[in-house]
Amino acid sequence: MAAPGWLSPRRRPATARSVLAGEAAAEAARKSALPADESPLPADAVELLAAAEEAGEPAFPVAGDDRAAAFFDLDNTVMQGAAIFHFGRGLYKRKFFERRELTRFAWQQAWFRLAGVEDPEHMQDARDSALSIVKGHRVSELMSIGEEIYDEYMADRIWPGTRALAQAHLDAGQKVWLVTAAPVETATIIARRLGLTGALGTVAESVDGVYTGRLVGEPLHGPAKAEAVRALAAAEGLDLERCAAYSDSHNDIPMLSLVGHPYAINPDTKLRKHARSLDWRLRDYRTGRKAAKVGIPAAAGVGALAGGTAAAVALHRRRR
């Protein structure tokens, strides 16, 4: 069986459907965005600050640069596992579907956790299943359930190191967006719980507040993510050269290539190789070691990442 065309984002250009998906995601993200929130600085950020002071690197993110923003992939970058699978478990618990579908969700999640990367065929199957399950349900109903599912299955799966990086951008006065193939409603709930600005996600069509079982465009994956970031940047007046993007997957190379500050977080093999070839910054939290102690060559930007927190903490202290 031939590999799906979107498996390699560098070979698959943006299509009209991916542009449509990106524009729809950007519109939905702006409508649901929250004002900046001054959350307490995480302990990980303090450790990054100490590493920055030792490295003597220039500060990034740049405090007060309101034409810059940060874009974070969700699955295996901010959160362990895939949001759509956790959401499926929660819906099964509430008897939205039968055990046969749960077995399929469980297998896909097990594969994802072992492989550590997205398989487009598995992800497409999961999304098709989710669309058929939510068809006919009200958007408000799924949002309410999503809040409960976050507490049950997602809250304890957030990578503290990645969360600290997001907080550094927030404390520098910048907006921070999740960018994910998960449903935009699910992504928005996660973004709000983490104190982020908002989320770009797959937009499912609804009429009068009820899901139709169809998508607007296509899933927000690969080139569609890049189109969403591009559309949001245009609407927000951002300079992409001053923005940062974070992802674990080679599928997100189109999005990472858009910005001036790309970061590979918990990278799969293809992304790690690509990042090293272009001297992108790397960060890996899967070993369980503290962020400030991860052994990555200086060329990979340890100091630059930590240095960003210096500006964040300085701004945080001035606000207090």
Give catalytic residue positions: 73, 75
Q: What is the 3-state secondary structure (H, E, C) of the chain?
A: CCCCHHHCCCCCCCCHHHHHHHHHHHHHHHHHCCCCCCCCCCHHHHHHHHHHHHHCCCCCCCCCCCCCEEEEECECCCECCCHHHHHHHHHHHCCCCCHHHHHHHHHHHHHHHHHCCCCHHHHHHHHHHHHHHHCCCEHHHHHHHHHHHHHHHHHHHECHHHHHHHHHHHHCCCEEEEEEEEEHHHHHHHHHHCCCCEEEEECEEEECCEEEEEECCCCCCCHHHHHHHHHHHHHHCCCHHHCEEEECCHHHHHHHHHCCEEEEECCCHHHHHHHHHCCCEEECCCCCCCHHHCCCCHHHCHHHHHHHHHHHHHHHHHHC
